[in-house]
Chains A and B, each alone.
Chain A
Amino acid sequence: MKPTTLKRSNAPIFWALFGAGGMLSALLGPMLVFITGIAVPLGVVLPPDTMSYPHMLAFAKNFIGKGFIFAIIALFLWHAAHRIFHSLHDIGIHAGTGAKLLCYGTAMVGTLIAAYALLAIGF
């Protein structure tokens, strides 16, 4: 077989997104959940206006803030989609193209919605 006829696998792309999301969620996931889901709603540890509209709008308009929000949401979604897709086999579901489209498709749609919202917020 000529090397040019070999079909290049798309697996490394999904694997890289899984790895990046896994690393980001391992490093910052627990603290992010604590900040946005526990400390701010309960008004403990952090100042009460930590996630006020002016604060969060300024953060989302900032170039670094935009990138951070996008990376967190998109990579978390791609990490979870890849892991859930590969776990389907373990719970007895013979995952085919449909399951793949559903898992990675959800991550893709989420990524596009995040990009749209961040662009709508403006700079």
Chain B
Amino acid sequence: MNKRRPYVRSMDGWWKKNPFFVEYMIHEATALFVAAYAGILLFGLLRLSQGEAAWNEWLMALKNPWYIGFHLLALVAISYHTYTWFKIMPRTMPPVIVGGQRLSAWAITGSGLAVAAAASAALLGLVWGMAR
């Protein structure tokens, strides 16, 4: 008996043909940076639990240009994650009705970004205040 061998169209690089999907793949890829950064923090936490010498080694390692370079890339990637997270939020959350009118997508994205900016400023201020 002959085996049926139907033609299956290749899906390789499907997302490269449409700017919408290119953007989608980029914002999904930010998760790689979130994972790697969490891994670095987790390793630091483990070193902290092992004592002062171990912690200082980890702290010194972060001065390595490769680490600095990674963190610069991660800063860009995770900032982009912040932007897209609030950009798609109007479609990922239930509709908000204010005064009988549906809250506009722009208002949701804008307030999300404003809250993120305020939270970042508060975090920096808090760390600065605690370290002083």
Enumerate chain A interface residues (CB-CB to B < 8 A): 21-23, 25-38, 40-42, 45-47, 49-51, 53, 55-57, 59-60, 69, 72-73, 76-77, 79-81, 83-84, 87, 90, 92, 110, 113-114, 117-118, 120-121
Contacts and interface: CB of A to CB of B under 8 A. Distances in A.
B55 A110 contact: no
B39 A56 contact: no
B74 A90 contact: no
B12 A92 contact: yes
Interface of B: 11-12, 15, 25, 28-29, 31-32, 34-35, 37-42, 44-46, 48-49, 52, 55-56, 59, 62-63, 67-68, 70-72, 74-75, 78-79, 81-82, 85-86, 112, 115-116, 119-120, 123-124, 127-128, 130-132
B34 A29 contact: yes
A60 B131 contact: no
Q: DSSP majority for the A interface?
A: helix
B93 to A, nearest CB: 10
B48 to A, nearest CB: 6
A120 B54 CA distance: 14
Given A25-B78, A26-B86, A118 B45 contact: yes
B45 A28 contact: no
A17 B12 CA distance: 31
Contacts of B82: 25-27, 29-30
A92 to B, nearest CB: 6
Contacts of B15: 90
Given A73-B38, A76-B38, A113-B42, A83 B70 contact: no
